[in-house]
Structure 1
């Protein structure tokens, strides 16, 4: 392939990945950039997938018909519905669509809900979701915020996977992914389902060690430490009790990951292997933290930073293997410590003044407990129960 074309495609894919990994990035922009890169590379499969996300009626009308026939079969299987389904799928094949790529079960599930946008341009879905958030309402009678969000999350993740695979095939001299690339992509993918904020932190750490700047390597180590602290908060929130003579408070995040592994991993040999990664990281990051406080960032080598990021991925691989499926698929929860005034007012059904008092209190105390909300005028025990249901109270760095 022409080196100029390869370089151009790599740069566009980088921008697409950055857009899709950023919490403030646009899904529409990420898909458009992916489409542009795929066109440059003459990757017809990805081009068509992007066209579907962008609402190209050439594909979406036939896909909608196919989806409708599947729903009809599910309701009442008959010779007529099966025939309609076969005809619709034949039309998809004639258009060059591939089942695993363009109308897989995951893809169809993401598009099935009309209240989530269906096969409408993903840009419209993004705008409609933002509008409902801005208006502090769950739906407008046609579109529902939760379904729109699920649709956006699916397209973000699917576009990110495609952009990453294309990027890796170009950025490395060997077309085959390394074993670590495969592991990393799988972990990133699962973490994005589990907790997008955690996934973003880990991906940022990896991005830092891929940089030639020594300050970036040092920052990656700091990001790894924060990632592990946040992971511990997510898996095993701090508590006053001890487990196996280990404290489980806010600062004892390594101990809390140990406690999670004790309860989640039944095999003793598997448990000890997983804990070895945690022990290494805990001791190493503690040493790095002490050195950084002495102002010796520059003396830390890139190899040390890479080792830390790699061990972090290995540790997460162990943990993800033993997480309950329900936990991986749970919906994202807003955090009380970063929720906006609008979110507090809307989700808790309280006055603006009460929402302001929550913000003042969290600034004053640093970390809120549900009981703290009862000190605010206008907030009842019923509101506190709603807050515990709607918001996470885990502290955020």
Structure 2
């Protein structure tokens, strides 16, 4: 089975975190991989910054100047003196300087000349150590910025994946319940989604008309019309053919003890039905229409779950 875009990003981010934390890749290989992640997630600034790390910085671009500071490359910023080279160049220099430092041996010379030689040796050792410290600092800052970027992507996608799995499971449960109680409603859902994707006023109006019919069909399926009435609170409520909200509320009323939950469902249903009915005749944005459709789906699911819980308790 092919991976979704979100799954690919999550896997790539996880690999990169391990690459950074376990020092599995060279700086150049790590930057190439991070650049691919930046392209996938559309992070233009990070992608631009990584390009400087790969080919070197310049003084003509704002992002370059910004990340010269973030990576500790300045020596004298006011004079534009700094480490402008790419990270791979600094990594190679760092390795060479470490080899140089390890190969240094204390000179075995006496007398006045020996003092001068020792002084020169100490100065060279100090200079090499300072250079190593500077290059190590740049590399550490670059890796810290990469780690921060990759971590943000990873945990965001991990949360998205969890949210998607929770919603997909809930959606699957709702689909099963709807199929068992009002299967014809499922047949109307694809047409609603198709119209909502068009972003055209006429399509949105048609979609909302279908959503309203879905609510009405749902009411007919769980609580068919009757000439009877039902007492809910202080009100005697009609359950006739055109009283779709009343019948859904009656279904809930007979199965739920909590007054606050009854009131919440009744209010949500009323707001939803009014807005869907209004949207058929007035301007509603595609974004709001999609929200109304999703809300409808969730309310139907909640009401059907109420019925399932009661049936389970009776069994």
Q: TM range, normalised to the smaller chain?
A: 0.3 to 0.5
What's the TM-score once normalised by structure 1's chain length? Answer: 0.34
Higher relative contact order (CA 8 A, sep 6+): 2
What's the TM-score once normalised by structure 2's chain length? Answer: 0.42
Larger radius of gyration: 2
